[in-house]
Structure 1
């Protein structure tokens, strides 16, 4: 067997593992293992930190949403960290606090004179927090009213260091099935990882963690990856709670989506290399991380390493290449249908099917072209992210997408 054949087989196997086999395995684990039996009488105090830069359009609605959460009002506080805004964000929050008639939940307004990025704002807010659990969210997100109620029971277990919630995108009509399938795919992996051991990623819009475990590195972009790594490295677990739901508009323009996804990809590259020594040590978490996130940043190159030997083999009329291609194709189609069925069964099991716009496995043929196009488009963004990362063309300061406001 020559080198090209070995590259072809290995790259094809990794592609199948990342896209289909690993999510299927996580889905089966999610179906086999029972959800946590929650003790809703356990009520730790939360400090909800909202970093804000030029958020005058949405910040008051966000505060009102947090005030209305279904949780004892004296058991959580809201901390707005305004960082170097050039609009009226600070003034609007200050005026709103003065106009409030209720004492609880307590709202604290902090000001960073200079904008240094989300990790810096979170660290600053943490200094002034009184809660034992920090919950980080975004100014343009909206929580389901039961978010704190659903997150809290997990922290009764002292082995649990962090809990993430479920992200539900608010789309406009121009956004297709590819976005839906992507978030279904992510949901399945996070839930299975949590049931198996620990999830390797949390949503930046909703991540809760014990205050003493995490101090964010202000030079890293992706807090959603950094927090689980910090928690796991301290011997604690990271869980996923599908009933703690956060809603947020996803970018409605391609320019905004490219900007957002490229930033996410750069953050993944950055965090992966920052923690590479920890990730390369033999442990279950390392397998989870590389299966879910690590392979994502190398996926465009896996596609190339799969396609080149294929083209060479076809040019040489190598029948073995054709047999392997047929085998990969059959495995992919069968696995994709199994994956769609498992997604539906998991959603029924966890009683969340009505909260998302899902497709049944029977409609997969209609949806498949949109899913493939969206997937290939994401790979192009990863390539762009590598170019920017290698040239140092990125900043820890988050560039908000205006179409999400």
Structure 2
């Protein structure tokens, strides 16, 4: 008789297999992006909202000023969101220095009370009269050709926004190297979903929008501290396209410790869940194509699926270990004596062949995806990163399941999203 655990396990297998097959078909049908040249450079406003970024703001401003893009076509707007440190003072000193040496560079420094990133973005929009509007997180550094490559990706008027590819800036700790793998895989996945116009979030570091479309949808909203997802949902409602430029690289500083990573991912996933509930009318709605029928449901399902898999692993581990503990009791917890009386045949009888075959299949697919991701974004794998690779492959998504557990707990307790800096 099939038990409840096996029924759940089969459902998980089916959903996972369906998901994998769908994206493999998209991969086979996708084409490599071509590097395009800009014939006529449009004007771009680059906005850097900053809160308590005294250690990063100067480096970020400097990286934007040094972009390989005509300086007379760029307007740089820095918005200090009521920082409690010396972010404003350091930004002002550096901007004053830029203006004294390069008067042709258009730089504007704004300040406001601490209202959050979305408010800073809307504040800056009042001063934007350029063709495009770009966001840049204050702890990020773009490659010199990043903006040029993103702008070149606007090949049709129905493309509302283009995102860049995030990379971890100088990963040192094990946790940062795990994220180095994660970022590559996530952007590989985004390059696939862009083929069916299903991108659901645009990162803060160098995402570029058509200004007229941003103003048409009335700018940004608070959106549970995840305004970069909420605005995409409104863009998708208007049936515009969003793509990713695979040749525009931006480096961002990733959390170095597990607690910092948990806090960040909890905020992201909490905001994601709340926005999905807010825009639930788009889910399973054929009006929005693959985005509504497939992408939005799978975002929600992935969280539930992760928690389910975590539960199955814990249950199966306990179910397997329980008889062993009972046997150890008989041998007075003498492990050597227990092993001497155990037989290889007993071990073989406990092996679940279906689970092993499934594990090998998904393991092989995971290795393939990681290899394709690293190759696409020109990342080099070294053996020094083997421990982080193993952690990413076997444990990272279980960690995300724990994050989702925390999210669902906070949702049920009606807690609000908080930004910690």
2:364 matched residue in structure 1: 337
Q: Alignment partner of 1:79: what SS?
A: strand
Structure 1 position 273, deviation (Å): 0.9
For the pair shown, which has the larger CA radius of gyration, 1 or 2? 2
2:270 matched residue in structure 1: 266
1:358 matched residue in structure 2: 381
From 77, 80, 92, give the equivalent of 1:79: 77
Q: Distance in 2 between matches of 1:104 and 1:389?
A: 50
Structure 1 position 12, deviation (Å): 2.7
From 235, 240, 258, give the equivalent of 2:239: 235
2:173 matched residue in structure 1: 173
1:139 maps onto 2:138 in alignment: yes
Structure 1 position 391, deviation (Å): 2.3
Q: Distance in 2 between matches of 1:207 and 1:52?
A: 16
- The 5 Å alignment of 1:59-138 reads 59-100=57-98, 101-112=101-112, 114-138=113-137
22 and 291 in structure 1: CA distance in 2 versus 1, 3 angstrom threshold: farther
Q: Is the 8 A contact 2:78 2:108 kept in 1?
A: yes
Q: Distance in 1 between matches of 2:395 and 2:146?
A: 34
Q: Distance in 1 between matches of 2:86 and 2:313?
A: 53
Q: Is the 8 A contact 1:178 1:375 kept in 2?
A: no
Q: Alignment partner of 1:280: what SS?
A: coil
Structure 1 position 393, deviation (Å): 2.8
Structure 1 position 297, deviation (Å): 2.8
180 and 376 in structure 1: CA distance in 2 versus 1, 3 angstrom threshold: same
1:297 matched residue in structure 2: 303
Q: Is the 8 A contact 2:175 2:258 kept in 1?
A: no
Structure possessing the higher relative contact order (Cα contacts under 8 Å, 6 or more residues apart): 1
Structure 1 position 277, deviation (Å): 0.7
Question: For 1:133-165, what per-residue CA distance to the aligned partner results, in whole angstroms no more than 9, with x for missing partners?
Answer: 111121111111111111011223111111111
Q: Alignment partner of 2:283: what SS?
A: helix
Q: Is the 8 A contact 2:310 2:401 kept in 1?
A: no
Q: Distance in 2 between matches of 1:370 and 1:65?
A: 31
28 and 358 in structure 1: CA distance in 2 versus 1, 3 angstrom threshold: farther
Structure 1 position 364, deviation (Å): 8.6
TM superposition score normalised by structure 1: 0.83
Q: Provide the alpha-carbon RMSD of the alignment.
A: 3.2
Q: Is the 8 A contact 2:57 2:87 kept in 1?
A: yes
Q: Distance in 2 between matches of 1:161 and 1:190?
A: 16
From 267, 272, 276, give the equivalent of 2:280: 276
From 238, 255, 261, give the equivalent of 2:259: 255
Q: Distance in 2 between matches of 1:51 and 1:296?
A: 31
1:389 matched residue in structure 2: 411
Q: Distance in 2 between matches of 1:3 and 1:41?
A: 64
1:57 matched residue in structure 2: 55
Q: Is the 8 A contact 2:177 2:388 kept in 1?
A: no
Structure 1 position 6, deviation (Å): 4.6
Q: Distance in 2 between matches of 1:359 and 1:22?
A: 31
Q: Is the 8 A contact 2:137 2:204 kept in 1?
A: yes
2:13 matched residue in structure 1: 12
Q: Distance in 2 between matches of 1:176 and 1:25?
A: 31
378-387 or 279-288, which deviates more = 279-288
Structure 1 position 305, deviation (Å): 6.8
2:332 matched residue in structure 1: none
Q: Distance in 2 between matches of 1:389 and 1:279?
A: 19
Structure 1 position 301, deviation (Å): 3.4
Q: Distance in 2 between matches of 1:336 and 1:13?
A: 16
Q: Is the 8 A contact 2:51 2:82 kept in 1?
A: yes
Q: Alignment partner of 1:192: what SS?
A: helix
Give the aligned length. Answer: 383
Q: Alignment partner of 1:91: what SS?
A: helix
Q: Alignment partner of 2:45: what SS?
A: strand
275 and 324 in structure 1: CA distance in 2 versus 1, 3 angstrom threshold: farther
